[in-house]
Amino acid sequence: MKSFEYAAPKTLQEAVGLLQDTWGKTEILAGGTDLVTCLKQHLTSPDRVVSLKNIGELKGIQQNGNALHIGATTTLAELVENAAVREHFPALVTAAESVGSPQMMAMGTVAGDLLQRPRCWYYRNGLGLFPKDGNTDLVREGDNRYHAIFGTDGPALFVSPSSLGPALIALDATISVAGPGGSRTIPSAEFFQVPRDPNQRETALKPNEIVTAIEVPLSGMKNATYEVRHRHGLDWPYVTVSVALPKGGGNGRVVLGQVAPTPWIAKSAGALLGSSTVDETLAGRCGEAATAGAQPLSKNGYKVQLVKVAVKRAVLTAAKA
């Protein structure tokens, strides 16, 4: 890998001051479970790496009024071991536990999960976010078994790799970030974005900003996550579904993962959850509704059926929570 300057600031303000306003010039190191791989694969070659390990205010989980405050550098292991998280947010627990590897759980951070780069094998082999060979779209014409089935009209056909993203959106979480202009809060549903060109990234975060915390409302909504994967541990699922059921009326939330360049909100499925008591029939209808708008590629049509099954099971699991 290319040589770089390493900085380990002790304050958030100092860390922000070390970042540049162009992607790739500086990179942030938290747990390093994705960044180190990207450095080795020459997917990024920064001049400076800024470590967050010494900034205490980014760590820990506390109740903050009617929300749970989760520090950005809280590890996945700390997240699943926290009593309040386990009591109120089983959707987050399941999503984090599914990462599987004890090493990844111990080192990987909550914000790092949100900010990891796509796992598309074309991208990881240095062919870019929108891989082409001349006029040939390598994803559309090649092996796209694990790529998107929603939002496939544009050039971005990778899937969002975040395990926690769908659950946080279903739970209506907000994400706090700090930059040179101060702090701002981004709704989780707006945090993930589809890049318009290869020099952009997959979130609303700016190059000189740092995620500081996630706030998850203690709304009392029943919630669950269900995944379909080839095997457990050291692998990514084919399809993920996170569900939050309404309390006292209103629409529920059904958010799909691993099926689009961003976590995909299945609005028609969520609308069904506020209409009547959840049972097998309603859960099945939600599964069918969640596939509306799917546009599979040549080799991943199987994901449509997986969405139907995963949504049904996630809805039933949430109802029993």
Q: Give per-residue pLDDT as tens, 99-113.
A: 878 899 999 999 999
Q: Give per-residue pLDDT as tens, 151-172.
A: 999 999 999 999 999 999 999 9
**Among residues 187, 181, 194, 212, which one has the least CA distance to residue 71?**
212
For residue 277, what pLDDT is reported?
Answer: 86
Q: Which residues contact 78 (CB under 8 A, 6 or more apart)?
A: 61
DSSP state of 119: -
Q: Give per-residue pLDDT as tens, 238-287.
A: 999 999 998 877 789 999 999 999 999 999 999 999 867 899 999 999 99
Does position 314 have pLDDT exceeding 80, yes or no?
yes
Name the residue type at position 230.
H
For residue 75, what pLDDT is reported?
Answer: 97
| Cα of 29 vs its chain's centroid, Å | 18
Does position 137 have pLDDT exceeding 80, yes or no?
yes
pLDDT band at residue 51 using 50, 70 and 90 as cut-offs = very high
Does position 44 have pLDDT exceeding 90, yes or no?
yes
Q: Give per-residue pLDDT as tens, 168-214.
A: 999 999 999 999 999 999 999 999 999 999 889 999 999 999 999 99
In this prediction, residues 118-146 reach a mean pLDDT of 96
For residue 275, what pLDDT is reported?
Answer: 66
Q: Which residues contact 4 (CB under 8 A, 6 or more apart)?
A: 45, 46, 47, 48, 49
For residue 67, what pLDDT is reported?
Answer: 97
Q: Give per-residue pLDDT as tens, 12-43.
A: 999 999 999 999 999 999 999 999 999 999 99
What secondary structure does DSSP assign to 150-204, as a single string?
SSTTSS-------SSHHHHHHTT-EEEEEETTEEEEEEHHHHB---SSTTS-SBS
Long-range CB contacts (within 8 A, 24+) of 185-193: 185/215, 188/214, 189/265, 191/114, 191/165, 192/114, 192/160, 192/162, 192/165, 192/262, 192/263, 193/262
**Distance separating alpha carbons of residues 222 and 293, to the nearest angstrom:** 27
CA distances from residue 86 to 81, 135, 138, 163 in whole angstroms, order as listed: 7, 50, 42, 16
